[in-house]
Amino acid sequence: MRHLLSINDLSAADAIGILDTATELARINDGQVKKLPTLRGRTIVNLFAEDSTRTRISFEAAAKRLSADVINFSAKGSSASKGESLKDTAQTLQAMGADAVVIRHSASGAAQRLADLEWMSGSVINAGDGTHEHPSQALLDAFTIRKHLGKGASDLKGLRIAIVGDVLHSRVARSNVLLLSMLGADVVLVAPPTLLPVGVESWPATISYDFDSVIPTVDAIMMLRVQQERMTDLFFPNSREYSRYFGLNSERMSAMAKHAIVMHPGPMNRGLEIAADVADSARSVIVEQVTNGVNVRMAILYVLLAGGPLEVGSN
C-alpha cells in the first residue's frame, strides 16, 4: 500500500492491522520509550493548505516519535487567494526529497490528485480533503471504540454507533461510515434532513431524524461539529432549534446505555452540538481520542513507510 487517500484503500484486514499496530505502539508509548528509530532518515512533509493545528501537530508528533524529520508547509489556500498552485507546491516539495506528504486541503479530491498526477513520488496521506474523507480520524475513532467496547475482539461486530450532526459537509462522517461498517458495526446517521446528502440511502448506514429514539440503542455517540455558517445557508433556522433537536445535553446523556461513550473529532462548539458538562463527563473519551490519534498516526506512518518492496540483489 503506497497511499492512504480513502478508507476504500484498506481491506478490513489492513484496517485491523493498523489498529493492532497502534495498540502495540500505545503500550510502548505508555511505558518509558518516547522515541523509536524506525523512520530515522525519512522526511515527512505536512502540506496543510487548510487551517488545522490539532491534526498537524498529531501527525508531527507521530512522525517525530518514529525519528522521522518533519517539514511543515502551511499554505492558506482559499479560492480567494490563489497564490501558488497545488502542482507547483508539490513539485517544490518533491525537490526537497519528501518520503511522504501528509496533505490537508479544502478541495475534495486534492489528495488523490496529488497521488495520481505523480507530481511527487513518495506516499500521500490524506489528512482531510474538503468534505470527502479523513481516514486517520476514522481509524483513531475505530481504535477508541474498540478499546472501550471491543471486549477483546479484533473488529467491531455487534456494536451500534450513532454519528450525529452535519453529515452533508463532514469528511469525518464519510470515512467513519465506511470504516465502522467495514469492521462490522451498525452505523446510524442522525441529522436534520437538510444536512443529509441526496444519495445517503446508498451508504452502509441507517438514517434517523429522531435523536432521542436512537440514543438508548447505541454503544457510542459520535457528535460532529456544526458550523455557525450553516444557519445563514438555510440548513436550519437557528442554533437554538438545532440544539433542541440534535444537541447532546445532559438530559440526553442520561438516557444513554450505561456503557456507552461520547466522542467528538473536535474542535467542539460547546453549547451548540454538545453541552459543556457532557464534553467533560466520565463518558466522554474526547481527550483520549487525541492521544489515540498520535498512536494511530504512528501506525499509519509505520505501515506506509517502514517496509519496502523487495529490492533485487540485497542481503
The residue (of 97 and 249) whose beta carbon lies closer to other proteins is: 97
Residue 289 makes contact with other proteins by CB under 8 A: no
Contact between 199 and other proteins by CB under 8 A: the answer reads: yes
* Residue placing its CB nearer to other proteins in the complex, 130 or 184: 130
d(CA 148, CA 259): 9
For residue 35, with 0-12 CB atoms within 10 Å meaning exposed, 13-18 middle and 19 or more buried, which class applies? exposed
What strands, in cross-sheet order, belong to the sheet with 261-263?
206-208, 186-190, 160-164, 220-223, 261-263
Per-residue contact flags (x/-) with other proteins for residues 152 to 171, judged by CB under 8 A: -------------------x
- The whole-angstrom separation of Cα 267 and Cα 289 is 12
Sheet holding 69-74, edge to edge: 69-74, 43-48, 100-105, 123-129
User: Stretches 28-36, 150-158, 207-215, 277-285: which one binds other proteins (CB under 8 A)?
Assistant: 28-36
Cell numbers found for residue 50: 487548510
Report the C-alpha gap between 145 and 154 in whole angstroms. Answer: 11
- CB burial string 201-234: b at 16+ within 10 A, e below: eebebeeeeebeebbeebbbbbbbbbeeebeeee
Q: What are phi and psi of 248, to 5 degrees?
A: -95, 100
Bridge partners of 4?
125
Exactly one of 55, 126, 131, 176 binds other proteins (CB under 8 A); that residue is 131
Q: Compute the least distance from the CB of residue 189 to other proteins, in Å.
A: 11
Task: Give the C-alpha distances (Å, rounded to integers) separating 28 from 34, 35, 132.
Answer: 8, 9, 33
Number of residues lying near other proteins (CB under 8 A): 54
Closest contact distance (angstroms) between CB of 292 and other proteins is 16
Within 71-130, the residues that bind other proteins by CB under 8 A are 79, 82, 85-87, 105-110, 112-113, 116-117, 129-130
* Contact code string over 35-54 relative to other proteins, x by CB under 8 A: xxxx----------------
The C-alpha atoms of residue 61 and residue 295 are separated, in whole angstroms, by 9
- Taking the least distance from each CB to other proteins, the nearer of 206 and 249 is 206
For other proteins, the closer of residues 49 and 274 by Cβ is: 49
17 near other proteins, judged by CB under 8 A: yes
Residues in contact with other proteins by the rule CB under 8 A: 17, 20-21, 24-25, 27-28, 31-33, 35-38, 66, 79, 82, 85-87, 105-110, 112-113, 116-117, 129-133, 171, 174, 197-200, 202-203, 302-304, 306-311, 314-315
